[in-house]
Structure 1
Amino acid sequence: MPPLEALIREVIAGEGPMRLDRYMSLCLGHPLHGYYMTRDPLGERGDFVTAPEVSQVFGELVGVWAVAAWGAMGRPAAFHLVELGPGRGTLMADILRTVRKAAPDFAAAAAVHLVETSPVLRDKQKAALGEGPSWHGQFEAVPEGPMILIANEFFDALPVRQREKRGGRWHERVVGLENGRLVLGLGPEVPGGEGAEGAIVEFAPEREAVARAIGGRLARHAGAALVIDYGHLVSAPGDTLQAMRRHRFVPVTEAPGEADLTSHVDFAALAKAFRAGGAEAWPALTQRDFLLAMGLVPRFEQLASRATLETRATLHRQMERLAAEKEMGNLFKVLAATSPGLGMPYPFGRP
Structure 2
Amino acid sequence: MRPSFRLPVEVCRRISNKCPCNAPRTFACGRWSSSSATARQWSTPLAKSLAEAITTTGPISVAAYMRQCLTSPDSGYYTAHTEGRDQFGQKGDFVTSPEISQVFGELIGIWVLAEWMSQGKMSSGVQLVEVGPGRGTLMDDMLRTIRNFKPLASSIDAIYLVEASPSLREAQRKLLCGDAPIQDIEYGYQSTCKYSECTKIIWYDDIKFVPQAVDKSPFIIAHEFFDALPIHVFQSVTPSPTESSVITSTTGTSPTRSSRLPQTNQWRELLVAPTRAPDRFSSTSSKESIPEFQLILPKSSTPHSLYLPSLSPRYTALLPTSNAVIEISPSSLSTISTIATLIGGANPTPKSPPKSRPTSGKTVSSPQPPPFQKPHPSGAALIIDYGPASTIPTHSLRGIRAHKPCSPFTSPGLVDISADVDFVGLADAAISASPGVEVHGPVEQGTWLRAMGGAERVDILVKGVAAGKDGDGAKERIEGAWRRLVDRGPQGMGRLYKVMAIVPHVEGREGRRPVGFGGEVVG
| Mapped partners of 1:84, 1:293: distance in 2 | 24
91 and 237 in structure 1: CA distance in 2 versus 1, 3 angstrom threshold: closer
Is 306-315 or 16-25 further displaced after alignment? 306-315
SS of residue matched to 2:143:
helix
Is 191-200 or 4-13 further displaced after alignment? 191-200
Match status 1:142 vs 2:142: no
Is 35-44 or 239-248 further displaced after alignment? 35-44
> Which 4+ stretches in 1 moved above 3 angstroms?
166-169, 190-193
What are the residue-to-residue correspondences of 1:316-335 with 2, within 5 Å?
A: 316-326=479-489, 327-335=492-500
Give 1:339's match in structure 2, choosing from 480, 492, 504.
504
SS of residue matched to 2:90:
coil
Give 1:72's match in structure 2, choosing from 91, 115, 118.
118
SS of residue matched to 1:35:
coil
Match status 1:182 vs 2:293: yes
2:392 equivalent in structure 1:
236
2:53 equivalent in structure 1:
11
Q: Which residue type is aligned with residue 128 of structure 2?
A: L
Q: Which residue type is aligned with residue 406 of structure 2?
A: V
1:55 equivalent in structure 2:
101
What does the per-residue CA deviation read over 1:6-29, in whole Å, with 9 as the maximum and x for residues that have no partner?
A: 110011000000001011000001
207 and 237 in structure 1: CA distance in 2 versus 1, 3 angstrom threshold: closer
1:156 equivalent in structure 2:
227
Offset of residue 50 of structure 1: 0.5
What are the residue-to-residue correspondences of 1:93-132 with 2, within 5 Å?
A: 93-101=140-148, 103-110=149-156, 111-130=158-177, 131-132=191-192
TM-score (norm 2): 0.65
Offset of residue 237 of structure 1: 5.3
Offset of residue 195 of structure 1: 4.4
Identity %: 35
Offset of residue 164 of structure 1: 1.4
237 and 45 in structure 1: CA distance in 2 versus 1, 3 angstrom threshold: closer
1:250 equivalent in structure 2:
406
SS of residue matched to 1:282:
strand
1:271 equivalent in structure 2:
427
Match status 1:41 vs 2:87: yes
Is 201-210 or 33-42 further displaced after alignment? 33-42
Give 1:292's match in structure 2, choosing from 450, 455, 458.
450
| Mapped partners of 2:473, 2:110: distance in 1 | 28
Q: Which residue type is aligned with residue 147 of structure 1?
A: P
| Mapped partners of 2:170, 2:86: distance in 1 | 10
Offset of residue 350 of structure 1: 5.8
What are the residue-to-residue correspondences of 1:166-177 with 2, within 5 Å?
A: 166-167=237-238, 168-177=265-274
- Do 2:423 and 2:442's aligned partners in 1 also have CA atoms closer than 8 Å? yes
TM-score (norm 1): 0.96
Q: Which residue type is aligned with residue 440 of structure 2?
A: W
What does the per-residue CA deviation read over 1:296-319, in whole Å, with 9 as the maximum and x for residues that have no partner?
A: 111111111132111111111101
| Mapped partners of 1:172, 1:232: distance in 2 | 22
What does the per-residue CA deviation read over 1:253-289, in whole Å, with 9 as the maximum and x for residues that have no partner?
A: 1011111111111111111111111121112111011
What does the per-residue CA deviation read over 1:139-184, in whole Å, with 9 as the maximum and x for residues that have no partner?
A: 0111222111111101110000110134454310110123134211
Asked which structure has the greater CA Rg, the reply is 2
Offset of residue 86 of structure 1: 0.5
Give 2:74's match in structure 1, choosing from 23, 29, 32.
32
| Mapped partners of 1:237, 1:323: distance in 2 | 23
Higher strand share: 1
Is 136-145 or 26-35 further displaced after alignment? 136-145
Offset of residue 124 of structure 1: 0.7
SS of residue matched to 1:313:
helix
| Mapped partners of 1:50, 1:314: distance in 2 | 16
1:83 equivalent in structure 2:
130
| Mapped partners of 1:120, 1:328: distance in 2 | 27
Which ranges in structure 2 are unaligned for 5 or more consecutive residues? Answer: 1-42, 178-190, 193-200, 239-264, 278-291, 310-315, 345-373, 466-470
What does the per-residue CA deviation read over 1:95-153, in whole Å, with 9 as the maximum and x for residues that have no partner?
A: 1101112x111112112110100011001101110032111111011122211111110
| Mapped partners of 1:40, 1:237: distance in 2 | 29
- Do 1:215 and 1:276's aligned partners in 2 also have CA atoms closer than 8 Å? no
Is 130-139 or 71-80 further displaced after alignment? 71-80
| Mapped partners of 1:239, 1:306: distance in 2 | 45
Higher helix share: 1
- Do 1:235 and 1:269's aligned partners in 2 also have CA atoms closer than 8 Å? no
Is 147-156 or 197-206 further displaced after alignment? 197-206
Q: Which residue type is aligned with residue 316 of structure 1?
A: E
- Do 1:19 and 1:161's aligned partners in 2 also have CA atoms closer than 8 Å? yes
| Mapped partners of 1:350, 1:241: distance in 2 | 35
Q: Which residue type is aligned with residue 454 of structure 2?
A: L
Aligned pairs, how many?
Answer: 350
SS of residue matched to 2:464:
coil
